Amino acid sequence: MSSLSSLEKETALSCCPVCEAKLSSKSDVYCRACGAKVILKCSKCQQAVRAADKFCAHCGAKRWQMLELWRNNAWDQSTIAKVGVVAAVAGAWLALYVVLRRRIM
């Protein structure tokens, strides 16, 4: 296990952003309950960022949370991902329904 820099310790969370389990210590890099990565790195400047941040505090780059969830294999455990999948399936079903209904009539 790698040691954390002082910057990474500052950005450490007290609970997991994926499963919301309480973390044992600030030095945890991964959640002990679900295995999600707790301390992430900005894709632009490679500085440590919190999982819940929308922008990097160091360079201001917008974070692509859905892409990062997929990269960290936490896609199936995220509420955001579940809502997105349900919305996409519902939209596809509705589009198919409208197309088929127009062909029949």
Sequence-ordered strand ranges (E) for the chain: 39-41, 48-50
Average pLDDT, the chain: 76
Average pLDDT estimate for 47-73? 75
Spans of all domains in the chain = 6-76
pLDDT tens digits, 9-56: 444 567 777 777 888 777 777 888 887 777 777 878 888 887 667 888
Do the Cβ atoms of 50 and 91 come closer than 8 Å?
Answer: no
Please give the pLDDT value at position 70: 64
The pTM for the full model equals: 0.42
Please give the pLDDT value at position 87: 93
Rounded Cα distance, 50 and 87, in Å: 27
Do the Cβ atoms of 69 and 36 come closer than 8 Å?
Answer: no
